[in-house]
Amino acid sequence: MIAVTLIVSFAIRLTGDPAVMLAQGAGSITEADLERIREALGLNQSFLAQYIGFLRGLVVGDFGRSFMGGTPVSDLIGRALPATLALAFASLFVSIVVSIPLGIKAAVSRGRWPDQMIRIFSLIGLSFPNFWLAIMLVLLLSITFNLLPPSGMEGFSSFIMPAATMGIILTATNVRLVRTTMLDTLRSQYIMVARAKGLSNTVVLYKHALRNCSIPLITYFGLQFGGLLGGIVVVERVFNWPGLGTLAFEAVSARDYPVLQGVITVLSLMIISINLLVDIAYGLVDPRVRKE
């Protein structure tokens, strides 16, 4: 956590002088003006002093103020975070709901046509860059057929395209993962035992096999969440989604250090808590992980 904030704070300062960015367009600027801006923003201090200042604020939940307009960073994040979380969970939900039945279907009909079809679709899904897919969806569904709003976050219909974009890409990898772990599990003897009991296919697959697959699946879904937050920056940009991605993007363009530091800190916090949730989930699905 400390390491992440340190690296980010350092790297961001390599990008250039925000004072110059701020002053742009203000006509003639003297070196003395720039110096005044730097002093006001605290940029004249050493890197270490700035970083310690940032950490101090962090302890009491204060991320500082934006260089642009002086809004507290925590307010900006507070507005953007729910939008991002909603989109992230919607995409994850789409991918899980689609990939589990498809993956199981592929595993069961291994080598036959449903399996081949699912694998081909998964390959196609894997080959899409997310921004391209997003643009194509906007072109097709919003511009040509005018079915869905092209951007912004207003109501359920505006969720469909961004969640589908992220969801399709996640589903493509998840289907393969579900298929592989399912194939492994179906080879286990307890599956044969379940069949020998006379249980129906659905019960065998969804009760006996799926829960045994869930350890690798949960691990992967948890890891994927990190990647998902990375991918969301681009997708939010395309759909003009008022989330952390858009906020971060604008902060980078403006060299708005406090905002960017804040966003990154919140994102890494989220990834850490997801990992904690994953560990708790292990214990729920698999009694062998629980403590005696």
Partner 1 sequence: MTITPALSVRSLGVNFGSNQVVKNLSFDVYPGKTTAIVGESGSGKSVTSLAIMRLVEYMNAEITSGTILFHRDASGSQPQDLTQLSDKAMRKIRGKEIAMIFQEPMTSLNPVYTIGDQITEVLVLHEKLTQDAARVEAVKLLKLVRLADAEALLKRYPHQLSGGMRQRVMIAMALACRPKVLVADEPTTALDVTIQAQILTIMRDLQQELGMAVIFITHDMGVVAEMADQVVVMRHGEKVEEGAVEEIFARPQHPYTQALLAAVPKLGSMQGEALPRMDPLVVLDGNVARTLGESRQQDTARIDEAPVVEIENLVTRFDIRKGFFGGVSHRVHAVENVSFSIFPGETLALVGESGSGKSTIGRTIQQLQESTSGTIRFGGKAVADMSRAEKMRLRQEVQYIFQDPFASLDPRKTVGFSIAEPIRTHGLLHGAKAIRQRVNQLLERVGLSADQAERYPHEFSGGQRQRVCIARALASKPKLIIADEALSALDVSIQAQIIHLLMELQQDEGLAYLFISHDMAVVEKMSHRVAVLHLGQVVELGERRAVFDSPQHSYTRKLLSAVPVADPAQRRERTLLQGDILSPIRKVGDEPEHWPLVQVASGHFVAQEVGSAERLAS
Total number of residues binding partner 1 (CB under 8 A)?
A: 19
Closer to partner 1 by CB, 17 or 115: give it.
Answer: 115
Q: Looking at 32-40, 159-167, 185-193, 262-270, which segment touches partner 1 (CB under 8 A)? A: 185-193
Q: Looking at 73-81, 87-95, 218-226, 283-291, which segment touches partner 1 (CB under 8 A)? A: 283-291
Closer to partner 1 by CB, 31 or 288: give it.
Answer: 288
What's the Cα-to-Cα distance from 63 to each of 8, 22, 52, 254, rounded to whole Å?
A: 14, 20, 12, 17
Least Cβ distance, residue 200 to partner 1 (angstroms): 6
Instruction: Report if residue 113 touches partner 1, rule: CB under 8 A.
Output: no
In sequence order, the 6+-apart residues with CB closer than 8 A to the CB of 89 are none
Q: Looking at 96-104, 152-160, 182-190, 267-275, which segment touches partner 1 (CB under 8 A)? A: 182-190
With CB under 8 A as the contact rule, the residue among 39, 136, 140, 211 that binds partner 1 is 211
Least Cβ distance, residue 217 to partner 1 (angstroms): 13
With CB under 8 A as the contact rule, the residue among 43, 208, 233, 251 that binds partner 1 is 208
Residue 292 · residue 90 · CB < 8 Å: no
Q: Looking at 116-124, 134-142, 172-180, 282-290, which segment touches partner 1 (CB under 8 A)? A: 282-290
With CB under 8 A as the contact rule, the residue among 174, 212, 246, 261 that binds partner 1 is 212
Contact residues toward partner 1 (CB under 8 A) are 188-190, 192-200, 208, 211-212, 285-288
